[in-house]
Amino acid sequence: MDSNRTAPKTPLISVLVPTHGRPDRVRALLARLAAQTVPMDSFELILIDDGGDPPVAIDVRELGFACTVLQRKNAGPAAARNAGLAQVAAPLVLILNDDAVPASDLIERHLAAHASATGKTAVLGTFHFTEEALRSPLVQVLDATDRLFAFTSLQHGQRHPWTYFWTCNISLPITALFEVGGFDEENFDRAICEDVEIGFRLQKAGWSVLYDERCVAHHDHVLTPRGYAARAFQLGIYQHRLRTKHTAEALGLTPFPSDTKELKKQLMQGIQAGLAPAEAFFEKLEEIESSLAGRAIPDELLREIEAGLDQHSAPYCMAGIYQDLTGIDPIAALEAGATPGTSVAAIIVSYNALANTRRCVESLRAASDPRFPLSLIVVDNGSNDGSAEWLRDQPDVQLVLNEANHGAPRARNQGLRLVQPGTDWIAFFDNDVVVPEGWMERALYHGAGSPDVGSIALCANRASKLQVVPYEGPSDQPSINAFASDHAAAAFRKGDDATLFTSLAVLVRSDVMQRLGGYDESFSPWGFEDDDLALRIRLAGYRNRVAQDTFVYHAHYDGPAKEARHAQWLHQNWKAFLEKWSPSALGSPLFDYSKVVLPQLGQATEAQLYFALPDVNSPPPTWLGQPGSEPTPSAADRLPAHEIEPARTPARTTPTDGHQRANVLIMGCGRSGTSMVTGMLADAGWNVGDRPYEPRPANPKGFFETAEINGINEYLLSTAVTNEAPLRSMQHWLAYAPEPLDLEVSPGIRHRIEALSKKGPFAYKDPRFCYTLPAWRPSMPDAKYVCIFREPSASAASIVKEVETEDYLAGVGVDFERAVEIWDAMYRQILDVHSEEGEWLFLHFDQLFTPEGVAKLEAFVGAPVAADFPERRFQRSASTRPVAASVGRTFEELCQRAGATDAPAIAVQPEPTSVQEVDAPELSVLICTYQRKETLLRCLASFENQTAVGRYEILVVNDGATDGTKEALDRWEAKVPLRILHRENGGLAAARNTGLREARGEYVLLVNDDTIASPELVAQHLAAHAKYGPNRAVLGTFEQPRAALDNALMRVIEETTLVFCYQGLDPNRLHDWNRFWTCNVSVSLEDVRRVGLFDESFRHYGCEDTDLAYRLEKECGTRVVYAPLARAEHEHILTFQDLRHRSRTVSSAYVRFFAKHPEALTHPSWRHLSQHSVAAKEEMLVRTLPDRARAEAFAEELSRIDLGDLERAGPEGFELADAIVARLKAYLAELNFLWWAEGEVEATAQGVGVAKSATSAKAKPALVAG
C-alpha cells in the first residue's frame, strides 16, 4: 500500500472516497471539493485507489486541501473503505461514491446537520442524477422512483432504519464505524449491500439515519438496461449473504424456505419462467434508450417501465441468490444450454407398425448430435409384420423381442434394464414419433443447471395438456425439420412447469427413474401410466418441465379399430388411476380432473410413489381386451410340473404359536444356499416380502426374494459401484467391490427400508446385503444376521452356469475366475466389516441337511424352522477346480465361524515362492519407463503378483531415466522371470521397440509404467486370446483408483473422453484401430514384428500406438476386442497443466498420424473435423486468447477441488460436487478444443501437418479434436 499525504491541522471532517478505474470522475470530484464553501483546512480527502488501471495520478501539492491517496490491490469498496478509515484524522467521516458531484455547500451542510443532531446519528443527503445523466430514459425512471435509491419516499428531518444507510452521500462519527468493526469485506466484496449490512449493525448499536435534503450531491452515472439487470443479479447474491449472516427474522424480512432443496426448486422455477420475458423486456428497454435519448419520457411510459423493472429484475435477483447458494450461475447454465457429454438413452416401444418404427429410429439417427451421446433401445411387443426382422439388422439398436404384446408400461420397463450406467437422461418415445434436427439440444436445455427438473416433456401436433403445438403441414422429414426450427425460434427456450405430462415423447432423469423404479405396470396396456409417473416425479421432489420450444411430429391413428381399443383402455385405466390417487372421485368423467383431489404437492404412500421393477421372468400383466388369447407364459410356467413348485406367499399375520421369532437378514454370495435357508424360515411363518419371485430351474423351490428389496439394493449399488464392468438393472448381485462402499441413502430409500422393517417377523434375503448392509442396519436395530456359504469353486461354477443360461444376464462378463473374486469380495466384507457388529450365525450349506445345523438355526432365530424343506437332491458336490490361496483362507475362516470342521477341503493354487523359469512364455509383459521410479516399482510389484504363474515374462525398458530407476531395478529381487534393459533416452516408441526385439512370448502385453495390474490381468488377456483366436488385439480396462476420483479433474477425466474413450465399448463387438491403447493391450508379437514395430518418428507421447494399430489392421486384419475383466488401474493424478500439455502433444501427434495416413480421415470418429485452415485456427486462437486465459484460470481452480470433502458433508455436498463436475466438464470441452488447435498449429509450424497452406483453395482440412 502506497500513500501520498499532506499534513494539515486536524480537520473537522474526512471525506472518504473509494475508486476503481474512473480517473475522469475523480478529477471532476476533486474540482467540486476545491469549490466547497468551508475553509479548505476544515476537511481532508482520503482517496483509495482500489487497483484501478491506470492508477490514480494526483499531485496532492497542487490541491487546495489535504489529501491522502492510497494505492492497493483490488478487493472491493468495503475493504477499500476500511483501509481509508485507518487514515482518517477527523472526528466525522463523509462517505461518497467516486461518481458523486457534490454541491458547493455539501460539507458545510453535513457539519451543520451534525451540530444540531442529537443521539447516535448518521446524516444521509440526497443523490439525484445529474442533468446529463437524465438524458437516459432509464435514468429518468430511476430518479423518479425507488428502483435504485428510494429518495422519493424519504422526508426531510425524519429518522430511518438501517435499510437507508447508503454510502453514496452519508456522514457519521468515525467512532461509530470503529464501534461495529468496520465494513464486512469478507462477505461483501462488491459495491452492493455492503453499506446496508453495516447499517444493520449500526442500528443494533443504537444508531439511526437522519435524512437531510439540504446535503446535496448528484449522481453522475448512466446505468444501462443490461447494467440494471446485472445489478439485480449482484443484489441477489449479496441479499442472500445478508440473510445468511443475520437471518431474515433478525432483519425483519420474509424468510426463505428452510428446506434448501425446496428453495432451489422455487428459485429455478422463477428463473426459468421469467428469464425469457425479462430478456425481451430489457431488449425493448434498450430500444427505448436509443430512440428517446435526450427527451423527457411521458409519465405513462415512465410508470410502464417502472412496473417492468419491478417484475423483470426478479429472475436476475433469484439467479444471484441461486448462485450464492450453489456456486452455479443458472443464467449462464441456461444460456449455454445442455452440457456437452450429456447422454441420452432413447427407449421406443413398437407393435405391428414397421413403417412408423423405422421412421422413428431413422429420424433419431439423422438428428443425432455428437455432443450428446445417444443410444437406441427398442422393445418390440410381439409384432408379426416384419418389425423384428428389420430391427435385428440394425447394429446400433439394443433390442428386446417379446413373444406377445406386454403393453407399453411393461415394455418401457424392459427397456430400462438395458440403459447403461452413467446415462444422464432416458427418453421415452412412441414409435409413431418423428424427431427433427436439433431436438436434443433444445430439450436438454430445459434441464441444464436445474437438478430439480425430473422430466422434460416435448410438444407435438397430437398431444394433450400443455404439449400441444398445432401443425397441419406435410409429414415429410424436411417439412418437419423446417417447422420445428421456426417454432423453436418463435418460442426460443420457452418452458413451463406442469403437474402431468403425456409420454409420447418425454425425457426423465436416470437417477429419478432409478429411484422411482419404473412405470406402474398396473396401467397396462396403455393409458394414464404417464399421468401416474408424472405425479410420482412431482411427489418425489422434482419438477416436470414442458419444453415449449421443442416440437416433434406425432403421426395419426391408423384407423377406427385402433381408436376404439385406445378408448376402451383409457376408460379402464382412468378408473385404475382414480383408485390409486383419488378413490373419492370414482365415476368422474374421463379426463375430468376438476373433481379429483390429487396430492400434487403433498405426501404419497409408499405404494403410490414407488414401483419395484418385477423380475424379468415374471409373467406380463393382463388387461381387458388384450390381443391374443392368453398372456405369454413365464419361464416358470414352461417347466415340467414335477420340477416346479408354486411361489410361496409370505406370511401376512404374526404367528401365534408362542415363539418370539427374530427378525433376520440372510446374506451370502449368490448360488451359495441363501434361498434354502430362507425357504426354511418362510415355511415356518417368517415374512420374506411381498410377491416373491416365481421359482425357476435354477431354484425349483423358490428364490424367496422380492423386487422391492432387490430394487432398493440395486439402487444403492448402482450409485456406489463405479469402477465395475457395466452392470444393468437387477445384475448387481454380481457386483465386485473389494472395499467398503460409500452408500448414498436418499430419504426415499430410507422411507422404503423403514416400511419393510415394520413387517416382522421377517426373513429378508438378498446376496447384495453383503455390500449394502450398512444402509439397512439403522432402520432394523433388532435384526439378526445369517451368513450362508458353500465352497467358492462350487458357487463360482453355479454362477457361471446362471450367467450362461439366463437372458437377463446376457452380456455380463463373469467367468469362473471373476465369480471366485466376487465370492471372496462378498465374504470379506462380511468377515472384515459387517460381523464386527450385531448377532451373527454362520452356516455352511451342508449343515442345513444335518440335525445339528437345523438346531443351531432354530436356536438363533427363536422358533422352529421347516427342517424338511432342504432336499438331498440339492446338496451338490464341491468343484475340484483350484482357487487362489487367499480365497482358500477366506473359506477356512468361514468354516471356523460356522464350526464346520468336517467341511470338505478345497483345492487351492500354490503360492509362488521363487522365480519360475519359463522356457517359452505365452505372453511377454512390456513396461517402458522414464523418470517414474516409485510408480514403476508399484507397477512391477503388481505384475509379479499374477495368478497366471509360469505363463509369462516381464521386460522392463529403462529409457535413460536419471531418477534412480536404474539402481532400483538392479537391486530388484524378482519373483517371476524378469529382464531389465537399460538404454539411452530415445522416446517411447524406440524404447518399446527395444523390448519387442527381446520379447519371447506368443503375445505381448503393452502397458504404461503407471499401470497397476489386478492379479488376474495376465490370465484374462490369455483367456481372451484363446477365446477370440488370431488377428485379435485384447484391450483391458484402465480405471482411475477410487481415491483419485475425489479430485475434480480426475473425476471429469473418468466420466468423459478427454483422455480415454472407454465409454460405449462393447465386449461383444469388434473394434478398429481407433480403440488400440497401449495402457493395457495385448497383441500377437509376430504380427507386431511383421508390420515393422513402432514408428520411432513418433518420439513423444501420442499416436505411436494408433499408428501401429492402423498398420496391424491394414496388413494383418487385426481387430480389437474389449475384455472388461482384464482390469488395471491408472496410478497417475493429472493436474490441469498436465492435461493441457497432453492435449497439445496428442494433437501434434495426430497431425503427424494423418499426414502419414490421410485416408484415415474417413473414419467415423474423425468425420467432424473442422474444414477451416490452420490460418483460421491461428486467428481463432488469437481472438479467444483473453477469454481463454480467464477460462483456464477458473477451470484450473475448479480442477483442484477435493470433491470427497464436499460429499462427506452430506446430500448438499453431493449436489455441489455434481455442479462443480458439470461446470468443469463444460469448460474443459471448450478448452480442450482450443488446446488441440494449439497443438495442430505448433505441429504445422514445424513442417508436419494436414494443412499446408492457409490461403490455398486446395488446403486440406485442419485437425480439431473429435
The half-sphere exposure of 449 on its side-chain side, counting CA atoms within 13 A, is 25
Query: Helix, strand, or coil here: 977?
Result: coil
Query: Helix, strand, or coil here: 1209?
Result: coil
pLDDT of residue 910: 62
**Dihedral (CA of 454, 459, 463, 468) sign:** positive
Backbone angles phi, psi at 667, to 5 degrees: -150, 170
Neighbour order of strands in the sheet with 1070-1071: 978-983, 952-959, 923-929, 1003-1007, 1080-1084, 1032-1035, 1119-1122, 1070-1071
Cell 444393468 sits on residue:
728
How far the first Cα of the chain sits from its last, in Å, is 50
Tell me, letter by letter, the H, E, C secondary structure of 852-907: HHHHHHHHHHCCCCCCCCCCHHHCCCCCCCCECHHHHHHHHHHHHHHCCCCCCCCC
pLDDT of residue 1099: 73
- C-alpha–C-alpha distance, residues 301 and 137, integer Å: 10
- C-alpha–C-alpha distance, residues 889 and 239, integer Å: 62
The half-sphere exposure of 611 on its side-chain side, counting CA atoms within 13 A, is 20
Average pLDDT of the segment spanning 537-558:
88
In this structure, are residues 461 and 554 in contact, taking their beta carbons and an 8 Å threshold? yes
Tens of pLDDT, residue by residue over 1109-1125, are: 999 999 999 999 998 88
Q: Which residue has the higher pLDDT, 1160 or 748?
A: 1160
Q: Which residue has the higher pLDDT, 171 or 658?
A: 171
Find all residues with CB under 8 Å of 1159, minimum gap 6, and list them.
none
Output the CA angle 999-1000-1004, nearest 5 degrees.
60
Backbone angles phi, psi at 554, to 5 degrees: -115, 115
Cβ neighbour number for residue 478 with a 10 Å cutoff: 10
* Phi-psi region at 587: left, alpha or beta (left = phi > 0; alpha = psi -120 to 50): left
Q: What is the CA radius of gyration of the chain?
A: 36
Q: Which domains does the chain have, with CATH numbers?
A: 2-223 (3.90.550.10), 224-336 (no CATH), 344-602 (3.90.550.10), 662-689+717-730+762-898 (3.40.50.300), 923-1134 (3.90.550.10), 1158-1245 (no CATH)
Overall pTM > 0.85:
no
Task: Identify the burial level of 179 via C-beta atoms within 10 angstroms of its C-beta, where 0-12 means exposed, 13-18 middle and 19 or more buried.
Answer: middle
pLDDT of residue 1055: 82
Average pLDDT of the segment spanning 1195-1219:
79
pLDDT of residue 607: 66
In this structure, are residues 1252 and 1259 in contact, taking their beta carbons and an 8 Å threshold? yes
Q: Are strands 543-554 and 433-434 parallel, antiparallel or unpaired?
A: antiparallel
- C-alpha–C-alpha distance, residues 860 and 858, integer Å: 5
Tens of pLDDT, residue by residue over 236-263, are: 999 999 999 998 888 888 888 887 767 8
Tens of pLDDT, residue by residue over 855-871, are: 999 999 999 999 989 87
Four-CA torsion 296, 298, 299, 304, nearest 10 degrees: -110
pLDDT of residue 580: 84
- C-alpha–C-alpha distance, residues 280 and 35, integer Å: 45
Tens of pLDDT, residue by residue over 1238-1248, are: 877 777 776 65
CA 188 to chain centre: 31
CA 142 to chain centre: 43
Reported as a pLDDT band with limits 50, 70 and 90, residue 635 is very low
In this structure, are residues 930 and 966 in contact, taking their beta carbons and an 8 Å threshold? no
- C-alpha–C-alpha distance, residues 1200 and 1135, integer Å: 8
Reported as a pLDDT band with limits 50, 70 and 90, residue 970 is confident
Report the candidate in 798, 809, 806, 752 with the shortest Cα–Cα distance to residue 775.
752
Res. 838: pLDDT tops 60? yes
Find all residues with CB under 8 Å of 1140, minimum gap 6, and list them.
1192, 1231, 1235
Res. 1254: pLDDT tops 50? no
pLDDT of residue 1089: 93
Report the candidate in 524, 459, 461 with the shortest Cα–Cα distance to residue 498.
459
Length of the chain: 1266
Cell 435354477 sits on residue:
698
Reported as a pLDDT band with limits 50, 70 and 90, residue 212 is very high
Res. 963: pLDDT tops 90? no
pLDDT of residue 1263: 29
Res. 616: pLDDT tops 70? no
Average pLDDT of the segment spanning 1175-1198:
76
Q: Which amino acid is at 970?
A: D
pLDDT of residue 873: 60
In this structure, are residues 777 and 830 in contact, taking their beta carbons and an 8 Å threshold? no
Quickly list DSSP for 536-547. HHHHTT-EEEEE
pLDDT of residue 1118: 92
Backbone angles phi, psi at 560, to 5 degrees: -65, -30
pLDDT of residue 640: 28
pLDDT of residue 1189: 78
Query: Helix, strand, or coil here: 982?
Result: strand
Mean pLDDT of the chain: 84
